C-alpha cells in the first residue's frame, strides 16, 4: 500500500491516508481554496473516487490536522519556487544585456556578410535581386527582366544596428520637456507675454 505524504507539513500518527489525500486536494486548489469548495468538488466527483463526501468529516480533518497552517506553508513554498525560477530566468541567457548584445553582434555580422557578398561577376547579388515584370496585357504582354533593390536586407541590418545602439546606450533619444520637475506645465514667457496663454 502506497503511503501518501502531505504536500506541506508532517503527517501525524493519527492521520489516515484519506485525510492526507483530502488535505492535498485542498492545497492543490490554490490561493482561492475553501473547505466549501472542496466539498462541492467531492460531491460532484464520481462515486467512490474521493476520500469522503461528508462535509463534517472534511471540517474535522481540516481543524484536527491544521490545514490552514499547511496551506500557508504550501503557498509560501510555491511562491519561493516561482521567485527562484523567475530569478533564474532573469539572470541568465538573453535576459542579460551582454548576452543580447552578443547575439545582436553576431546577427549584424551575418547581415553584413550577406550585404557585401559579391557574385563571380562582382555584383552585390543580395542587394540587387533578379525579378520579372509584365508590360502590357493579353497577346501584347511582354516579359521584362529587371533587378529589384533588396530594401528588406538593408532594413534588417539598420534595425539590428539600432537595437545594438539601444542595448549599449550608444543612441540617446532626445526628449522634450513639457513639465517642470514638480510636475507643473512649463510656461514660456517672452518679453512679458505668456506664449502658452497669449497674454
Q: What is the pLDDT along the chain (199 residues), one digit of tens a residue?
A: 578 899 999 999 999 999 999 999 999 999 899 999 999 999 999 888 999 989 999 999 999 999 999 999 999 999 999 999 999 999 999 999 999 999 999 999 999 999 999 988 888 889 988 899 989 888 888 999 888 899 999 999 999 999 999 999 876 655 555 556 666 766 666 555 665 555 5
State the CB neighbour count (10 A cutoff) for residue 73.
16
The CA distance from 72 to 76, in Å, is 6
The CA distance from 73 to 6, in Å, is 11
- What's the pLDDT score for residue 195? 53
* Burial category of 59 from C-beta neighbours within 10 Å (exposed 0-12, middle 13-18, buried 19 and up): middle
The CA distance from 118 to 127, in Å, is 9
Contact at 8 Å (CB) between 5 and 27? no
Contact at 8 Å (CB) between 61 and 19? yes
- What's the pLDDT score for residue 2? 73
Q: Residue 99's closest CA among 167, 146, 145, 173?
A: 167
- What's the pLDDT score for residue 170? 79
* Whole-model pTM over 0.75: no
- What's the pLDDT score for residue 197? 57
The CA distance from 40 to 156, in Å, is 57
Q: Which residues of 89-122 are buried (b: 16+ CB within 10 A; e: fewer)?
A: eeeeeeeeeeebeebbeebbeebeebeeeeeeee
As separate numbers, helices (DSSP H) first and strands (DSSP E) second, the chain gives 6, 4
- What's the pLDDT score for residue 64? 96
Amino acid at each position: 500500500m502506497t503511503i501518501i505524504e502531505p504536500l506541506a507539513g508532517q503527517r501525524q500518527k493519527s492521520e489516515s491516508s484519506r485525510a492526507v489525500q483530502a488535505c492535498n486536494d485542498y492545497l492543490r486548489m490554490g490561493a482561492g481554496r475553501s473547505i466549501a469548495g472542496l466539498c462541492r468538488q467531492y460531491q460532484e466527483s464520481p462515486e467512490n473516487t474521493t476520500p469522503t463526501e461528508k462535509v463534517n468529516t472534511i471540517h474535522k480533518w481540516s481543524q484536527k490536522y491544521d490545514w490552514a497552517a499547511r496551506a500557508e506553508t504550501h503557498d509560501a513554498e510555491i511562491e519561493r519556487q516561482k521567485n527562484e525560477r523567475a530569478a533564474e530566468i532573469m539572470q541568465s541567457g538573453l535576459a542579460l544585456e551582454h548576452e543580447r548584445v552578443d547575439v545582436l553582434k553576431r546577427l549584424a555580422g551575418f547581415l553584413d556578410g550577406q550585404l557585401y557578398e559579391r557574385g563571380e561577376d562582382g555584383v552585390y547579388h543580395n542587394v540587387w535581386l533578379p525579378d520579372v515584370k509584365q508590360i502590357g496585357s493579353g497577346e501584347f504582354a511582354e516579359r521584362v527582366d529587371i533587378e529589384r533593390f533588396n530594401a528588406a536586407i538593408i532594413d534588417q541590418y539598420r534595425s539590428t544596428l539600432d537595437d545594438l545602439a539601444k542595448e549599449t546606450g550608444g543612441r540617446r533619444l532626445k526628449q522634450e520637456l513639457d513639465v517642470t520637475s514638480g510636475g507643473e506645465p512649463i510656461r514660456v514667457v517672452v518679453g512679458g507675454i505668456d506664449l502658452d496663454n497669449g497674454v
